[in-house]
Structure 1
């Protein structure tokens, strides 16, 4: 053979000396074009793996069927292999995809049974009885296969392409499963991470609640210890000191009566004054006992109720007290109500003990932004004199005689309010305290 013919034959795969050279060359060119198209279809099919296993299987089946121009084409996974692969088989018949055994054509059923149960019988790239069969190999083991019924003559290159497509489909199915599993695992990991973060936040909140509860418990224990001590002191004052003062008063009264009977009127008058002082001391002690029994841990109750109780608990019986409430009653903080109660008690005691009043009116006015407490009496007190004594007591009250006025002013200023002393309509003193309503008051 001339060298030119040998070169041409090497390039085309054909021998130029035959008359069939041109038709054979045309068929070879067509196969080559189909092979290139098939390879392009394979590349497009395999990159569909990220869309999920079914999209990959559909793309592979269509690419293989188009290359073979098959009447039908089957891709199936063997039983027990690639357990996570879905669908397990797919058939393309007249451009219709079928994944239901009941809808399979009769001629396809034996092929599906062969691929499922005996994939090792599929010879690589074999073509028998007008069928193209190619196993899907993974790690050297058959895991399924492709079977088709082509409409065109099948050459060795076509079989090679189907074999490549089958093997790559097996790898792509496995990789697609791994990709989907990794995606699910990542999603699960994110869910677990979010759950862990939420649990950490909940734990931090529980720790904060626990710390706050511990602080409240510690404060409650401290208050309990303080209240126990207050109650003990109150009992001691009631059972011992008060009784001693009462006994001293009774003794003074006996001495005063004997001196008056013997004509010592001047000395008897002094003893009468001493008796009055003991009576005032008893009333002071009763007020202190009342205050000690109303501990910080006890509910304060509505201030109007406490004021009504105050007027009957430890004040002299000669003083008649009326309590008037104006406006919608506000639930003030316990410390605020206790301070107002102490101010009212001190004012009422002064009206009875010093001004010799027989009537007192406690007026409590609630407004949205402030609360006003006014204690008026019909006693003999002088507003100007009380204001002067208040200035002296605030500056240098060394003997403590007028410490009560200074204490009332101090409590008022602690609440952010003001205290005024003026003449009352009843004729005596009108002591008025105005405080702002604390923030957060319902």
Structure 2
């Protein structure tokens, strides 16, 4: 087998090394080719590390690309800029690596670089016309086949710039454009996701708040329905109480007085009539008991089912609603230190005050009334008074009260007689005078302590 000739050997070495030369020694060119390949591989590795830093934001990505390109070209300075109107969200719009210092302010850009910055920002397509001239290398950044900026660098003196370096620079520029766009999309998506999460949390909070408000509204509606139902019941109770007081109670009073009048006349006749009069005596007591029970029922009807018993001042405070007839405005004042009284005694005092208020509204046509409860400082008595601004005459009422015991057949003034009876049962004194408000002032003075029989009695 014959040895290959010199031409065949040169061709084989050229195929293996990628080096073609007419010289006998291929080693120097081989070394240069190997160095270029190593630099290209290092540059590609640096580019890959730079381009995967999308999540760190556009500035970190651009600076990483800038340093990778500068190291590959061993550049004195390297400029990367985005054209005006392209990649509008990209920030910064340009960066310059000069001597290892990163610059993004036009005022810090050296004069020899400014003209290249203007070209990159206004006419990036011109870079392809002279990629390697005047000791500078240039590469256009493209996105969707449109120039969006470029790279201009000044390699170190004596550095041989091969076509592979220009290709790497173009790859770097194009990938930087894509990476800038992707970085913008990534951060926009992250911001959108964060906003979506915040909106979702706000919606959840609002939903919880609406649910709580709906529950509160439902409870309020239930309470409102209960209040309305209770109000209807209270109104009906008050209506029935007024009917009992104005008609039934007065009729029973009239019947009792008629029985008493007939009994007195029969007793005066003597003989069998006197015996009949004696038989009518229990009827008088029955009518009195009926009146007492009616008044107890009227008072109970005036109280709502939700009300609870309380001390005398509290019971008097309730009179403004319990006996609120027409437009009568009732004010209650308490003076002195309250003294505990037997419940039956307190109920009797309240009923006297209630009767006085009813008379002031129904008969005296009063618009205002004042209920005053006084506890004497020495603890000797409790005084209850009711004053009004009505048109009643104290002298006429005192005269009517005297006549009521014997001749009030209509029962019109029987309430006053009952007040007097209650005051006397409590060993008290009832007085009727002109009030400073212009109407009637009824006052009951009850000495303390109350009679012993009130400690355990029930006046109905």
Would the TM-score normalized by the shorter structure come out above 0.5? Answer: yes
Task: Identify the match of residue 277 of structure 1 among 286, 297, 302.
Answer: 286
- Cα deviation digits, residues 294-343 of structure 1 (max 9, x gap): 3358x779544245663324379xxxxx99xxxxxxxxxxxxxxxxxxxx
* 1:170 alignment partner, SS class: helix
User: Which of 237, 241, 262 is residue 234 of structure 1 equivalent to?
Assistant: 241
List aligned pairs for 1:188-203, cutoff 5 A: 188-203=195-210
SS of residue in 2 equivalent to 1:290: helix
TM-score of the aligned structures, taking structure 2 as reference length: 0.67
The residue correspondences of 1:160-309 to structure 2 (distance < 5 A) are 160-263=167-270, 267-296=276-305, 303-307=311-315
Q: Larger C-alpha radius of gyration, 1 or 2?
A: 2
Distance apart, 1:232 and its partner CA: 1.4
SS at match of 1:81: coil
Is 1:24 aligned to 2:29, yes or no?
A: yes
Structure 2, gaps ≥5 residues long: 1-5, 317-345, 354-373, 376-420, 429-449
Distance 2:161 2:87 in 1: 30
8 Å CA contact 2:315–2:350 kept in 1: the answer is no
User: How far off its partner does 1:265 sit?
Assistant: 5.6
- 1:314 alignment partner, SS class: helix
Instruction: Say whether 1:55 aligns with 2:64.
Output: no
Provide closer, same or farther for how the CA distance between residues 63 and 181 of structure 1 changes in structure 2, counting only shifts above 3 A.
Answer: same
Write out aligned runs for 1:54-203 (5 A).
Answer: 54-123=59-128, 126-151=131-156, 152-203=159-210
CA deviation map 1:51-98 (0-9, x unaligned)? 100010000000000000000000100000000001100000110000
Deviations 1:125-162 (A, max 9, x none): 81111111000110000000111000122111111111
User: Runs of 5+ in structure 1 lacking a partner?
Assistant: 317-321, 324-351, 361-375, 380-425, 432-442
**SS of residue matched to 2:86:** coil
Match of 2:347 in 1: 310
Structure 2 CA distance, aligned partners of 1:313 and 1:267?
39
> How far apart are 1:198 and its partner, in Å?
1.9
SS at match of 2:88: coil
Instruction: Give the Cα–Cα distance (whole angstroms) in 2 for the partners of residues 267 and 430 of structure 1.
Output: 32
The CA distance in 2 between the partners of 1:306 and 1:164, in whole Å, is 94
Tell me, what secondary structure is at the counterpart of 2:200? helix
Alpha carbons 1:125, 1:163 under 8 Å: kept? no
Structure 2 CA distance for aligned equivalents of residues 249 and 301 of structure 1: 32
Give yes or no for contact 1:46–1:169 (8 Å, CA) kept in 2.
yes
Partner of 2:452: 378
SS at match of 2:85: coil
Distance 1:124 1:276 in 2: 132
1:254-284 superposed Cα distances (whole Å, 9 cap, x missing partner) = 1222233234665444433321221121122
Q: What's 1:44 paired with?
A: 49
Q: How far apart, CA to CA, are the structure 1 residues paired with 2:309 and 2:456?
A: 28
Alpha-carbon shift at residue 226 of structure 1 (Å): 1.4
CA positional deviation for 1:358: 5.2
1:388 corresponding residue in structure 2: none
Q: Is the 8 A contact 1:377 1:430 kept in 2?
A: no
RMSD: 3.3
